[in-house]
Amino acid sequence: MHIIRMLTTLPIVFAFAACGPDAPTGRAEAQPPTADTAAERPSAPPGDAEDFAYETERFADVRILRYRVPGFESLDLETKKLLYYLYEAALESREIIYAQKHAHNLAIKRTLEEIIKHYPGDRDTETFRALEVYLKRIWFANGIHHHYSQDKFAPGFDFESFAEIAHETPGDFPLRDGQSLDDLLAELRPVMFDPSVDPKLVNRAAGVDPVAASAVNFYGPGITRDEVEAFYADKRDTDDPTPISLGLNSRLAKQDGELVEQVWRVGGLYGEALERTVMWLEQAVTVAENDAQREALEKLIEYYRSGDLEDWDEYNIAWVADDASNVDTINGFIEVYNDPIGMRGSYEAVVQIVDPVATERIAAIAREAQWFEDHSPILDEHKKANVTGITGRVINVVVEAGDASPATPIGINLPNADWIRRQHGSKSISLANIVHAYDAVRGGAAAEFAHDDEEIERYETFGARTSELMTDMHEVIGHASGVLEPGVPPLHESLGSYGSTIEEGRADLVALYYMIDPKMVELGLLPSVEAGYTAYDEYIRNGLMQQLYRIEPGADIEEDHMRNRQLIASWAYELGGDGVIARVERDGKTYFDIRDYDALREIFGMQLRELQRIKSQGDREAAARLVERYGVKVDQALHAEVRERYAALDIPPYAGFINPVLTPVESDGEIVDVEISYPTDFATQMLDYAERYSALPTWN
């Protein structure tokens, strides 16, 4: 098979839209709620009480869940201590994500928290209840913009009422030097209440300067995309086979008219929080499981102290080399989804422990990575000749922080640097206890959107299994596959704001292409090729319909995972026509029925070949044509229908998590045990975090 560039210039079909698992390079995100899955639903984690309430509350468009850490109580003391130290290291820097997303986020959050903690008046009023919801939305999104749509929240109360409540509250408000409370409120007023001020966290609409038009705090005022690209063009060595990730750990600002990088490190920007994270990482080093883990942690500490991106690469190489430890952590400025031009990393942290039984499923895929690469439909010159060091694991999360919390990915593949992946390998993880929590609360959307009883029955039988496999293959052989052509810069430099969409689409297509390959049956991962049809059904109905539930009426698709799913599904629908995917209207409802699964697989293969070519050659023009043509625009009539059908199901479009709490038990100054508990109140945890992990100054 060979896909040519002409495919990116075919006429667009607007019959349904100009047009999957949730979040970023190196992440798989949780699908919008679908159906309960019966026969293949993963069993509850060991020790999971039947009456454990996974869902604790709902507000706005989200529901709050909990997850358990199976087997924690039976771990040995040294393992518990290691997890506890990494847990504290993760949480100490959690507020960095607020500061990264908007310059006023911490001031708004801390002002509202003071009111929630100390307001002495009547709390059972419409205004105060709206204020509580507004703060919960900020906690959930790590800022004043929606975590998914990127739109700024409307407070739900007016400024005058807000100011009156603030004045009645005897709180310790986050004032600048010499600032009065009235001065603070006046400064916050346009940011909170004027919809024209910083309306989009990330604005990549056609025809706008994405740097100047985005509210994210990665760039100082008055900076344009052209200035950013010119600044880094002078720093890029196109002949370097091991390039650093330029801009990954700094804010770009103007000082005396000159662009300067404000590096995130101990002693630099956000250093107050990073210093506390380093303190706990140093404790973790003392109880490391082995030399490889100890070396990786020491290199992470060195990086946080220096802010040197070469140290970041050294850490990632050491982290990949540690493939034997049962405990692991992801901690750093990693994913670039919040940067409108895909350079700067958001702080995130995940602390995890391996699930040895479930890991065998994902390890079976990792062991065959070379076979998958060799048999890929991509161009031979874009294949890896020697797939190196791919580690696949299923893990249970102990805590998440920063950009990974409260809304969390369900799969992660790192590191992101292409040359490290090529030379040293990568780690892929599936977050088992997060997936189990999602599964425990899923509703009946598949029965609503599936075309017929056969599709529903197949989903109920195999849906959980194929969903897991999609995540596993997306991470293990998707992100880890392919190579760049010589001289092509890293993905987010070459493709800019389209890089994440193309990369996530590429990883999805690898999983889709192999989902109905006989190899899956040979490896014992599926009972039959037909079982894999389930993944195709779900991907098409999600990409063309179900995920639209997350979009506000009249809005374009902004989030990269949603863009890539619609791109793939709508492009495939156009290429195949009714003979492959038929649009069916029945009883006033729309369905998409796959008529030829083998032909659809061929289309997925052609799409994969083209997306890999775009990445390997750094073809930004082709990336822009595809994304803008198929991944951005929404058919408003179909969108309205989807929202109406979901409204009847009473399923919130988003979910996030309360973390477990680890509490050390001490005797004579020594930790003798670490206990785990599972809180049920979101606000209580957020206020506790605000009290304990708030080293950052309000104004940076």
DSSP for 631-679?
IS---HHHHHHHHHHHHTTT--SEEEEEPPEEEEEEETTEEEEEEEE--
Q: Are residues 16 and 139 in the same domain?
A: no
What's the token pair of residue 348?
């995130």
What's the token pair of residue 140?
């959930």
User: Residue 32: pLDDT above 70?
Assistant: no
In three-state form (DSSP H/G/I as H, E/B as E, the rest C), the secondary structure along 589-631 is: EEEEEECCHHHHHHHHHHHHHHHHHHHHHCCHHHHHHHHHHHH
Q: Are residues 9 and 107 in the same domain?
A: no
**Collapsed DSSP state (helix, strand, coil) of residue 219:** strand
Residue 13, pLDDT score: 29
**Collapsed DSSP state (helix, strand, coil) of residue 251:** strand
Please name the residue that has the structure tokens 């005396």: 256
Q: Are the C-beta atoms of residues 273 and 695 closer than 8 Å to each other?
A: yes
Whole-angstrom distance, CA of residue 295 vs CA of residue 288 = 9
Reported confidence tier of residue 22, pLDDT bands at 50, 70, 90: very low
Reported confidence tier of residue 390, pLDDT bands at 50, 70, 90: confident
Q: Are residues 440 and 583 in the same domain?
A: yes
Tens digits of residue pLDDT in 296-318: 999 999 999 999 999 999 999 99
Q: Are residues 378 and 512 in the same domain?
A: yes
The residues, any chain, with a CB within 8 Å of residue 7's CB and separated by 6 or more, are 575, 606, 610
Q: Is 121 left (phi over 0), alpha (psi -120 to 50) or beta?
A: beta
**Collapsed DSSP state (helix, strand, coil) of residue 462:** helix
Residue 8, pLDDT score: 30
Bridge partners (DSSP) listed for residue 509: none
Task: Select from 538, 499, 556, 600 the least CA-distant residue to 18.
Answer: 556
- DSSP annotation string for 127-181: HHHHHHHHHHHHHHHTSSB-TTT-BBPP-SS-HHHHHHHHHH------PPTT--H
Alpha helices in 525-596 (DSSP H): 529-544, 560-576
122 inside domain: yes
248 inside domain: no
363 inside domain: yes
Of 200, 224, 247, which one is at a domain's C-terminal end?
Answer: 200
Tens digits of residue pLDDT in 547-559: 999 888 998 998 8
Whole-angstrom distance, CA of residue 300 vs CA of residue 306 = 10
User: Residue 582: pLDDT above 50?
Assistant: yes
396 inside domain: yes
Reported confidence tier of residue 29, pLDDT bands at 50, 70, 90: low
Whole-angstrom distance, CA of residue 317 vs CA of residue 321 = 6
234 inside domain: no
C-alpha separations of 389 from 349, 363, 416, 455, 480 in Å: 23, 12, 14, 38, 10
The residues, any chain, with a CB within 8 Å of residue 629's CB and separated by 6 or more, are 8, 12, 18
Whole-angstrom distance, CA of residue 244 vs CA of residue 260 = 18
Q: At what angle do helices 432-440 and 453-473 cross, to 10 degrees?
A: 160
What's the token pair of residue 372?
């998958």
**Collapsed DSSP state (helix, strand, coil) of residue 470:** helix
Residue 389, pLDDT score: 75
Q: Are residues 388 and 488 in the same domain?
A: yes
Q: What is the mean pLDDT of residues 17-25?
A: 32
What's the token pair of residue 373?
């690469």
Whole-angstrom distance, CA of residue 511 vs CA of residue 517 = 10
Whole-angstrom distance, CA of residue 387 vs CA of residue 421 = 9
| pLDDT above 70 as % of the chain | 93
333 inside domain: no
Please name the residue that has the structure tokens 């705090």: 217
Tens digits of residue pLDDT in 433-450: 999 998 888 777 889 999
Whole-angstrom distance, CA of residue 679 vs CA of residue 402 = 19
User: Residue 78: pLDDT above 60?
Assistant: yes
Residue 195, pLDDT score: 97
Q: Are residues 43 and 148 in the same domain?
A: no
Residue 358, pLDDT score: 81
Of 29-33, 35-39, 50-54, the one with minimum mean pLDDT is 35-39
User: Residue 10: pLDDT above 60?
Assistant: no
Residue 239, pLDDT score: 85
Q: Are the C-beta atoms of residues 658 and 536 closer than 8 Å to each other?
A: no
User: Residue 5: pLDDT above 80?
Assistant: no
What's the token pair of residue 692?
């304990």
User: Residue 30: pLDDT above 80?
Assistant: no
The number of domains in the chain is 2
In three-state form (DSSP H/G/I as H, E/B as E, the rest C), the secondary structure along 13-56 is: CCCCCCCCCCCCCCEEECCCCCCCCCCCCCCCCCCCCCCCCCEE
Of 200, 219, 240, which one is at a domain's C-terminal end?
Answer: 200
Q: Are residues 464 and 585 in the same domain?
A: yes
Q: Are residues 479 and 627 in the same domain?
A: yes
Give the mean pLDDT of the chain: 91
Whole-angstrom distance, CA of residue 661 vs CA of residue 667 = 20
Residue 37, pLDDT score: 33
26 inside domain: yes
Whole-angstrom distance, CA of residue 538 vs CA of residue 451 = 11
180 inside domain: yes
Tens digits of residue pLDDT in 278-298: 999 999 999 999 999 999 999
Q: Are residues 152 and 12 in the same domain?
A: no
Q: Are the C-beta atoms of residues 408 and 400 closer than 8 Å to each other?
A: yes
Of 160, 180, 200, which one is at a domain's C-terminal end?
Answer: 200
Q: Are the C-beta atoms of residues 660 and 398 closer than 8 Å to each other?
A: yes
Q: Are residues 15 and 162 in the same domain?
A: no
Q: Are residues 581 and 477 in the same domain?
A: yes
Whole-angstrom distance, CA of residue 417 vs CA of residue 142 = 26
What's the token pair of residue 73?
């109580």
Domain that holds residue 121: 103-200
Reported confidence tier of residue 206, pLDDT bands at 50, 70, 90: confident
Tens digits of residue pLDDT in 324-364: 999 999 999 999 999 999 999 999 999 999 998 888 888 88
C-alpha separations of 521 from 171, 217, 375, 524, 532 in Å: 62, 48, 16, 5, 10
User: Residue 24: pLDDT above 50?
Assistant: no
**Collapsed DSSP state (helix, strand, coil) of residue 696:** coil
User: Residue 16: pLDDT above 70?
Assistant: no
Buried b (16+ CB within 10 A) or exposed e, 328-352: bbbbbbbbbbbbbbbbbbbbbbbbb
Q: Are residues 466 and 561 in the same domain?
A: yes
